[in-house]
Structure 1
C-alpha cells in the first residue's frame, strides 16, 4: 500500500555555508552562479518533483524551459525577463509560476533560495492516450460535464 504521509519541505535542507556547482539551468551570460537543489519528493514516474533550490548571483539565459514550475522565493532577489517581454523583480515572499516553454533571463541580484514544484511534460504516448480517452467520454460531446458552470471546481 502506498504511503500518503505529508512530506515537509524544509529550507534548511541546504546549509547556509554550502557551496553549489556551476549553474546548469541555462546558459551563463555573466557572473559565476552556483546552484544547489534538493529534490525532496518525486512522483508520477519522476514527472513531478519538489524541493529546495538555491543559486548565487549571475545572469542566466533560459531557453524552452521543460517544466511547469511553481516557486516561492524564501530569500534573495531576481529579475526575470521573458524574451521580448518586460523585466520584473521578485524577492523573498513572492510566488510565481514559470510556464513550460519559458525563454528569457534570470538576473540573480542576491543569492536566491526557493521552494519549487515542477511538472515535466508527459511522454507522447501518455498524452495521446489521454486525448483519445477524452474523445471517447460522452461528456466530451455535450454530455453532463459540458453543462458545468464556469468557476465550478472539479
Structure 2
C-alpha cells in the first residue's frame, strides 16, 4: 500500500521569487512559488502547496479542476460575468476547468492545492480515431498500387 503524502507548506520559501505564471498580470508584481508533492501514476492528479504575493492576475480557460484550501492570505476572485468573492485563510473552494476571471491577491496567499487534469474530450478521441483509420486506408491503397 502506498504511503500517505504530507502537504507540508513549510517547504516553501518565506518569499516567492518567480513571476506569476498562472495568468496575465494586470497590476502589481505578483511573485509565486509552488511545490508539487504528489503526482499520480496516470499523471492526471497532482497535489502540493503554492503561494503568491499581492497583485491582480487574469486567468483564461483554466486547464484543470482544482481544489484550493487557503492557509493564509486574502484574495478576491471574480469570474467573468460573475460577482467578486473574497476568500481568506481556512476557506476552501474549487476552480473548475475552463474558469476565466481575475484573482486580486490582497495579502500573500498560501494554499494547499489538488488538481485533476481532465481526459481529452471524447469527440477529439473519436476524430483522431477516424483520422487514423483514413490514413491507414490510404496507405494500404497506396501499397496495392
1:9 is matched with 7
TM-score (norm: length of structure 1): 0.76
1:45 Cα deviation from its structure 2 partner: 2.7
The question of whether the paired residues in 1 share the 8 Å contact of 2:31 and 2:53 is answered with yes
Matched, 1:122 2:119: yes
Q: Which residue of the other structure, out of 87, 98, 107, is the alignment partner of 1:101?
A: 98
- How far apart, CA to CA, are the structure 2 residues paired with 1:57 and 1:45? 34
Give the alignment's Cα RMSD to 1 decimal. 1.7
Correspondence for 1:23 among 20, 24, 27: 20
1:70 aligns with 2:67: yes
Shift, 1:115, TM fit: 0.1
Structure 2-normalised TM-score? 0.81
Show CA shifts across 1:100-132 (max 9, x none): 10000000000000000001111357x959xxx
Q: Secondary structure at the match of 2:10?
A: helix
Residues 57-77 of structure 1: CA distance to partner in whole angstroms, max 9, x if unpaired? 000000000000001000000
Question: Over residues 52-104 of structure 1, what are the superposed CA-to-partner deviations in whole Å (9 max), with x where a residue is unaligned?
Answer: 00000000000000000001000000000000100000000000001010000
How many pairs does the alignment contain? 125
Structure 2 unaligned regions, length at least 5: 127-145
Offset at 1:37?
A: 0.5
Q: Which residue of 1 aligns with 2:29?
A: 32
